[in-house]
Each structure stands twice: as C-alpha cells, then as structure tokens.
Chains A and B, each alone.
Chain A
Amino acid sequence: MTHRTQTPDSVASQPPSKKDRPAGKCLLSRRNFLFTSGVATATVMVTVGSGASAHEIPAMVATYPRKKIAKLSALKDDEPLDFEYPDEGAYAQSMLVKLGTEAGGGVGPRKDVVAFNNFCTHQGGDLAGTYKADTKSMGACPLHLSTYDLTRHGILISGQAYQSLPQVLLELKGDDIYAVGVFGLIFGRYDNLQG
C-alpha cells in the first residue's frame, strides 16, 4: 500500500485514516446485506431541464440497503445528524441535515432534508463537523479547502474535488426517513457496495 506519511509541520493535514477500520475487513458483504437488511432496488428519478421541458429520467439502478436513519419530526433546522451508509465499513460515515430551504434531492414537506457522505471526494479529508448553516455547505475540507453546496446535490463550490460530495438518497415514509442509495462514488472505494 502506498502510504503518504505527513511531515510534522503540515499542521492542518490529517494522519492517514480510515476511521480505524482496516481495509476489506469491516465492510459488510453484499451477501450479509441480503440476509440482514433486506434489499431495496431503488430507481432514483432525477429531474432534468426546467419549466415545460422538465422530465424525469432514471439516474441509476442499483442495489442498496434500505436503512431507517431518522424521524422527520425530530429534526431541527441546521442540526446535522450522523449515520452510516451504505454499510458500516470505511468511509460510510454520513450526515443528514434539515437545511430549512429547498434543496435538490430534498425530502419532507419543504424538500429540505438531505444527506451526504462525510468524506471529501478529492483526497478523502473528513468533513464531519464542517456544516455551515449560513451557506448550507460542507467544508472547507481541512486538507485542501474544498467546499460543497448541499442545496445543489453536493456540487463543488470551490476547491479541488473530482466530483460532487456523494449524496445519500432519501425516502420519506410517514415520519420515517430511509436512506436508499448513494449518488456518486464514495472516496476510497472503487465501488460503493464493494468497498
């Protein structure tokens, strides 16, 4: 494995981390999911275009666990909630937040509840705790300062990430919010469901 050891003076850099989980060990296998979680095959619809030309297309068809992560009634604006998805392996840490303003992919009566993976899609910096209520954003990443707009599917605001922050797709049933898929490859993994 290619490890990048940090020089002692790179203060803001983080040590190499997989959140203390060795590679390939703690990831639940897909087989385990089949037995323990049931399987949701979610076809996620994405609206493209606007106005009269708007139409929905299937964005992806994937097999992701359907995982209950929160109750809508318990959410307060701008107070993020941590959860793990799509498994409990490396880089599964994610956050759910009620933005208080409509957002792409948002659920709830105000379409303002969204969820995202916590790891920067540049070099894997941990974004936990970087939610900013005034700009509805994640970041700046402590490694190289990337920031993401949570109202717009996690698109990069400024910075170096190679793609948007992976959005955890949500479904609302009654008061229960379920995670049902991930939009975009999670840092560190070569396949969201394989590790």
Chain B
Amino acid sequence: MSTPYYIPETNVPLPPKGADVITTACDYCIVACGYKVYRWPVAGGRDGGPKADQNAFGADFPVETLGPWVAPNQHNIVLHNGKPHHVVIIPDKDTKFVNTDGDSSLRGGCIAQKCYNPQTPTRDRLKSPLMRIYGILQPVPWDFALDVAAEVGNHVRTNHGSNAYGVKTYSYQFIENTYAITKYALRHINTANFTFHDTPSDVSSTPGFRDAGFDNFGPAYEDWMNAETLLVCGTDPYETKTILWTQWIMKGIQRGQKCIMMNPRRTAGVAYAENNGGLWLDVDLGTDLLVVNAIARVIVENGWQDAKWIEKWVNNKWGSSSGFGQGTRNTPWQWRTTWGKFQTKGFDDWKKWLLAQDEFKPEHAAKVAGIDVKKIYTAAEWMAKPVKGKHPKTSIMIEKGFYWSNNTGNTQAISALAIAVGAGGRPGQVVGRAGGHQRGGQRGGKYPRNKSPMKVPGRRRRALDTDTWTMSGHTRFAHVIGTTWIQSMCGSQQLAKRFEELTVANPHQVRSYDKQDIIDTLKRRADSGGMVVINQDIYLVDPIGNRYADIIFPAATWGEDTFMRANGERRLRLYNRFYDPPGEAKPDWWIIAELGKRMGFDGFDWKNSNDVAEESARFSRGSRKDFNMIKVAAHREGKTLHQKLGEFGTNGIQGPVFMKGDGSLEGTKRLHDTTRKLDPEGPQGANLFNKKLTHFNSQTGRCNIQKSPWSLFSDYWEWMKPKGTELWCTSGRTNERWQSGFDDRRRPYIVQRWPDNYVEMHPDDAKARGIENGDMLMVYSDRVPSLKETTLGVEGSDYSFTGQMKAGNVELTRAAVTGVAMVTRHIKKGIIYMDFLHTSQPANALEGRIVDWISGNYNYKMGVAEVKKIGESPYKKTFRSMSFAPRDII
C-alpha cells in the first residue's frame, strides 16, 4: 500500500533507439486504448537522448504538444527474462482507432505503475500459493496447494452436489482465462452456483435491450460522435470511459451535437455538454423510467416518432407473437415475469398504453424526478422533432447509474424510446451500453439452468442467486477468482458477517502439518455446514482472501502473459507479455488447468495461452466478438491465433471477423447495421452470418417495442426513498481511481489524490448538518433491506418487494461506512455520492440487498443513508492530499 506522500520526479529516462517496442492495450476501462511498451536493459546504462536520432520515438525533446512525452509515472523497472529492464509505457501515438491523437486517461496513462517492482508499493503482489495453517496464510508449494484444493473440491461436489461448489469470477479478465474458468465451472463442475463479479446471478445486465433485440455493444465509437442528438443515461463518459468522450463524443459536441446527460452529478463531461449547448437532466435516484417515458410521451403526442423506420423495423402484433422457439410463449421476458406485463401488439399498442399512464405526464414525471419540466420537452424536441421534414440522427447510451437503478424497468423504457426515435441500426443512430470493464468473456460451457432451484411459478428457472444461496449455507466450497465478492455486492456488511460464520468461526480449522490431515479437516468443515474458500488473485484482498480464504493462488496478469480481449466497440487486440510475473504467480488459465487435471477432468492440457485461445475460437462463432476466422486465417498462413491477431497491433479488428474471398480478414463496424450489404452468395467457408449483423436480435429480426410499467418498481422506490433526515445515497467510480483501487492503492499519486473514501454532498445538505469540507463523516442506515432466503412465493405478485416484505423474507439490517466530506456544487441537493468500491469503506454496504424481482440483478445505485460528522479528517487543514474543488470546472 502507498502512503499519500508523493514526491514527484523531475526527470525521466528515455528509451534509446533500438529499444524493444511491444504493442498492447490498456488493462482498465471498456475503451481499451492502444499502448506501446518501450523496453531496454538497465545493464549498460544505455538510455536514450533528447535528439530525434538518440531515442526510440525519433522525436526531439522537448516534444510537441500531444507528442511522445514521458511522465515519470509512465516509467518503471521490471524483470524480463530474469534481468532488470526499463519500461516506458505511453499511449500509441500512431494508432488509427480508439485513442486517436495518442490520447489517454490518467488511469491507462500511468499503467507502467501497475507493473510489479519490489521497490514500489506493488511489492505486496502475491508471489506464491498460500495456505491458512494455524490461522496464518503461509507460503506452500503449488502442488501442495492444488492437491488440497482439488481433493476438497471433489469431496464437496460428490457429497453435497455440484451446486455446493460455488464459482464467483470476473467476467472480463481476458478471453483465455474466462474460457478456462467457464469450461471448468460450467462444463465440468456443472454448477448453477456460478456468477460474475458484478451480479449475484448469471443474468443479462440489460433485460430491456435483450427483449427489444439490441446488442449491448453494437455501436461503433464513431457513431457516438456522429449522432446529432445524444442521450447519455447514468454515466459521465468523461469520468468513466474517458477516451470515448475526449476523442469521440467531445468532437461530436464541437461539431454541434446536442448532448443530453441524465445523471444527478454535474461532473466535467456534463458541465462541458451543458456549456456547449447540451442539457443536464438532473433526475433523482430511481426516477429515470418516468422521465424517459415522459420524453417518449411528448414525442408521440406530437407525432415526432420516426414512422417510416418504425413501420419497417418494429414488430407488429404478428411479429411480436411469431417465431418458432422465440415466439411469445418462449421469449426472455416471458421467462422472467407475469404474462402480458411487457409485450405489446406493436407501436400503436405501446403508444396507447403510454398515453394511458398518468404518471408519464411530463409535469408528474418532472415533479417526482425533481427536475424542471421544460427539460423533458427540450429533450423530446432535440431527440425527435423533424427539422425541414428530416428526423434528427439520435443515439442513446446507457450505463450502470441507469440500468442499476431500476434494472428491468429502465432498460425496457429506454429501448422503447430508442425505437420511437429510430436509434439503433444506422450510422450515428445507435443504442447501446457505454460499458464498464472490457469484453474479455468467452464461455467454455453452458450455464446449467435446470439445476437452479430458483424458479418463479409458471416461468422458466432463474439463474441461482449466489449471495442468498451462500447466506443460506448451501455453498460449501467457494472458488473466488479476481473479485472482492463481498464489497462488490449489496448489503455487504451482512454478507461479510455470514462469510465469517461459515469460515473462520467454524470449529474445523487447519492446525496440522500433515497434508491428508489438512484435507480431512477442510472436508469436515464442509460436511459440518461450513464453507471452504479458495481465492485466485494478484493481491491479497481483504476480507475475502485475507480473512476468509483457506488457500490463495497467486495470479499473473496484464503484461505477464499474452492474452486477447475486445473493447466497447468489439475491437479485438492482442495484449502482449512483456515482463516476468512476480515470483511463482501463474495466469488464471494455468491455475484452472492444474485444478481441472487434478479433479480428473479432460481437456486441460494446454501448454500456453495461445492453445487456450485457439480452443476457445470456435465457441466465439456467432457472438459479437467472433474471432474464429482469425484462427482460420492464422492456420492457413502457418501462424498461431495470437501471432495473427498481433499483426493488427493496437488497431486490432472489430468482431465479428470474416474472411474475404482473397483470404484477408474483415471486421464489423457496427451490429444491427441495416445499411450493411453482406455477400449475396451467403457465407463462404467457415464464415458465419447471423441475424444481428444486419437486423436486430429478436425472433423476427425487427425490434420488439415493450411496455415498462412503473408499478413493478414503484413499491420499492416509495419504500426506499429518504424519510426524515435521510438522504439518497448512491455511488460510482471517480475518474482517477479504477474499480476496487487494487492498482491505485499502490500508486502514490492516486493515493495522494484519493486517500480515503469521500462523501459528495450539496452545500445546503452539508450546512443543515454542520458539515464542512474535510470533516470525517459517518454514513449509516438502519434500514438496509436484505433478502433472507431466495425469493419465496406462489403467485406472481408474491415476488414483488411488497410480496417479499409480507412474506417476512426481507430483513432490515444496519450498515455504517466512514468517508471524508466533500461539499460541492456538482451534486444535486438531497443526494450523496461515494466511491462504490473502496474496500475499506465499502459504500455498497448501504445499498439494499434486494434483487430486481424480474431480472435478478441488484439495483446498486439507489440506497438511503443518514450522515453525521464524527470529527475532522487529516485532509481538512493540510494541503498535500485530496482536493475539495468541484469537478465541474470548465
């Protein structure tokens, strides 16, 4: 860990001419900017010089604005083939896509600091397997740790069923790893007790998109720039996917794009949009659906909808009910909920429903959302009103502030609005997610839905909720890979308490030197109703690894093995290895393979990450990042898949990838591209064409326009909304800090900037509580609602929040998190905002652990809390750390 006392350097070594140049992409946000790693040996002291012919950039120093400058935070020293090497990692100044202009965020810009270097705060990387013996995590050899884990895992599987073996894993950390993990968990262990880092069960993040037929990541980055009106919901891309903003949306705004930002915080992107002719829809938490439907209502009342588009591309009543295997009796929205709540007979039927709902009248929606009603009319006009007979080119982007506030309702409502304005399917007229993590998931097995015991009557089984399942004591062996699990879920302090009971408070603890004795002890733990935890990660994570895990496997990560991954426009790139992992750390695919072999599974004999990638290629066929044809081309040319993808450098290639007649490869700019002409002869060779290339992901290839009733969510919203002195409490990520801060806590400069969690609060709310900038606050709640067991019920309505309350299945728990007061004009009155995943001050503890009863996702972004001052933080009266200046200065 780093202290906040950062002393900046005033010089930096330059890479010499002839330094190794290795391409990669950033490890962090969805945008995945292209980077170049310049590497040269420390021995010999042959650093580059300031003249163009003396350095690897071929640039004279001082360099031009936007030139290849090297900030000291972009330099590090690593081991390569066992020998110390300098590395300088800067954004690729020559890349043609994504981070054009050689741009970068602060996160990726300083990614050199991520590399393990024992002289920096990265020194606590996990370097060897650890096993908890006599209460202490002690280093043990790989074989010892793997043998114990596999034997106990097999015991649990055999004696308690495969659902007792829980796998909680990242969804994104490279295709090779996610393929290996899902092959192991889903195909071989075949457990329904499986999910990803950001959801309690393996369900769609955007159910409304799924039902309408929209892919989450269909658009190309240029579409966000080329839209004439852009509605951005629940995120400020400047803060969270910087380069998508600075290189694409910001350039669109400079060309006259009208940018509407729906978000209760006025951070820099919102302020920039507003200052340049845009609009800030400063909605209160959870009220998005009302505002979106009110905008839609204004549009249809004025007849501004894109009627021609709708006629051609929206299902009428026959289309809505058609389709063998995907028709009305067998579609995802029917699996999820009550018959008839969402489905329409087409646009007119939806319009009739919309106009019949009084809560969507603009005045009412504006009142509940706490916004000026004029903004609803302005947004509707910008998005849809034809100018000289022409509809504006409108696009819609959503992200977690939006889809984690009323998961089903918001995503249904926004899909209908997108359809009404003709967004989705044409250049500059698209709908999609902005994205969080990069897209590195590749399934190596199918989720065994029929093994999930969670089922709503009359409907299909729902993916198992791993949190309630674990709370109920059914997880006997928890295999946790690259996630904090606890702090990244809701009601996290209640979860932590249960983990403690099941692990360290269980009487069966390892107090032995004998391997078989250790195995037997852990088996007894599982048999007694306790839980054994194994954890793969790059750092020791508190508490999942530090306090609860029995065995820790040290993982190798970005730059330490060669991997593949796609970004938010499906652009696939090769992430090259350029230095040695610390100690005995191994990539996750290797750890999984070793466990798989010991469990007795076949198909885990990979020699290197390329072997895994090549095996996974055929499973990508038909997906948005279909890279199978890259492998086909590689093999034709006598290359490996990794070698072939590597040839595309930082430019990469957008999935799905096809092979042309001459053997060259062609990417896909956007999905649902109704303007795209595919080969009229049909797919040749191993190419695979499917509906989503030129149509939508629905039963007919046309969009389903669906209803989005407020009543399915309003009971929870009414119950949740602040009472008395409570404030709305939401959370998210701040630009400078990535996710749990696993790297950033080890970057002195970032620790100086953000030493502790913070509480953004409006000046009026602060004044009423006697709070000033820099005060240390206690943020707490007596009413964090949490599900006791899996949702229980007989009738459909039993599953609503009201139904679960009546059934006594909701427990009100307490939570408390500290943070430093940041009194600022950039947040809406009545709302506080914290970093969502400071592991030591976890704001998610305050969010209700109640799944969206239709989709199974958490609504992370709408909790409530009381706030009081408990003293002063060290930052109140000193000048080295933090800043209390607002984030809206333009």
Residues in A lying within 8 Å of B, measured CB to CB: 1-4, 6, 9-18, 23-24, 27, 46-48, 50-51, 59-60, 62, 89-91, 102-105, 121-126, 132, 135-137, 139-140, 143-145, 147, 149, 151-153, 155-164, 166, 182-185, 187-192, 194-195
Contacts and interface: CB of A to CB of B under 8 A. Distances in A.
Contacts of B66: 4, 16, 123-124, 143
A24 B61 contact: yes
Given A24-B51, A50-B874, A184 B10 contact: yes
A102 B66 CA distance: 34
B250 A12 contact: yes
Nearest to B68: A2
B268 A147 contact: yes
Interface in B832-890: 874, 877-883, 885-887, 889-890
B101 interface: yes
Given A47-B878, A158-B889, 12 more contacts: A4-B67, A9-B254, A46-B7, A123-B101, A143-B65, A144-B242, A152-B880, A160-B104, A162-B106, A162-B109, A185-B71, A195-B62
Contact of B61 (A46, A104, A190): A190
A128 B886 CA distance: 20
B71 A121 contact: yes
B883 A1 contact: no
Contact of A59 (B7, B268, B877): B7
A121 B74 CA distance: 12
Interface stretch (B52-60, B130-138, B339-347, B650-658): B52-60
Contacts of B65: 14-18, 123-126, 143, 188
Contact of B67 (A3, A50, A185): A3
B883 A50 contact: no
A195 B61 contact: yes
B885 A124 contact: no
B768 to A, nearest CB: 23
A60 B736 CA distance: 26
A182 B10 contact: yes
B338 interface: no
Nearest to B225: A9
Contacts of B254: 9-12
A1 B64 contact: yes
B275 to A, nearest CB: 10
A13 B64 CA distance: 13
Interface centre among B69, B250, B749 (most CB of A within 10 A): B69
B566 to A, nearest CB: 23
Contacts of B12: 185, 190-191
A155 B752 contact: yes
Contacts of B10: 60, 62, 182-185, 191-192
Nearest to A2: B93
Contact of B880 (A104, A144, A156): A104
Nearest to B73: A162
Contacts of A189: 61-62, 69
For the complex of A and B, list the 3 residue pairs with the smallest distance between their C-beta atoms, beginning with the closest. A104-B879, A188-B62, A162-B71
A138 B348 CA distance: 53
A54 to B, nearest CB: 8
A145 B246 contact: yes
Contacts of A195: 50, 61-62
B103 interface: yes
Contacts of B251: 9-10
A4 to B, nearest CB: 4
A185 B879 contact: no
B246 A194 contact: no
B261 interface: no
Contacts of B104: 160
B109 A153 contact: no
A191 B110 CA distance: 18
Contact of B106 (A3, A137, A161): A161
Contacts of A91: 62
Contacts of A122: 106, 109
B268 A156 contact: no
B620 interface: no
A145 B106 CA distance: 12
Contact of A103 (B8, B74, B879): B879
A140 B250 CA distance: 14
Contacts of B102: 2, 4, 123
Contacts of A121: 71
8 contacts: A1-B67, A2-B58, A18-B65, A90-B62, A152-B883, A183-B10, A185-B12, A194-B11
A107 to B, nearest CB: 13
Contacts of A155: 752-753, 881-883
A185 B8 contact: yes
A28 to B, nearest CB: 13
Interface string B97-117: 000011111100110000000
Contacts of A184: 8-10
A132 B64 CA distance: 26
B63 A23 contact: yes
A23 B753 contact: no
A147 B889 contact: yes
A178 to B, nearest CB: 18
Interface string B65-108: 11111111110000000000000000001100000011111100
Nearest to A121: B71
B469 interface: no
Contacts of A3: 64, 67
A58 to B, nearest CB: 10
Contacts of B106: 122, 156, 159-162
Contacts of B749: 163-164
Contacts of A14: 65
Contacts of B13: 190
A131 to B, nearest CB: 11
Contacts of A103: 879
Contacts of A183: 8, 10
A136 B881 CA distance: 16
B76 to A, nearest CB: 13
Contact of A190 (B11, B105, B238, B250): B11
B173 interface: no
B835 to A, nearest CB: 14
A147 B67 contact: no
A123 B877 contact: no
A135 B889 contact: yes
Contacts of B414: none
A50 B877 contact: yes
A160 B105 contact: yes
Contacts of B94: 2
Given A157-B889, A160-B246, A124 B58 contact: no
Nearest to A105: B879
A135 B883 CA distance: 11
Interface centre among B110, B250, B879 (most CB of A within 10 A): B879
Contacts of A24: 50-51, 60-62
Contact of A16 (B64, B238, B255): B64
A158 B887 contact: yes
Contacts of A27: 62
A145 B272 contact: yes
A140 B268 contact: yes
A3 B52 CA distance: 12
A152 B879 contact: yes
Nearest to B11: A191
Contacts of B74: 162
A172 B330 CA distance: 79
B50 A194 contact: yes
A16 B10 CA distance: 23
A137 B109 contact: no
Interface string B339-379: 00000000000000000000000000000000000000000
B674 interface: no
Contacts of A51: 874
B5 interface: yes
Nearest to A146: B106
B518 interface: no
Contact of B11 (A2, A136, A163, A192): A192
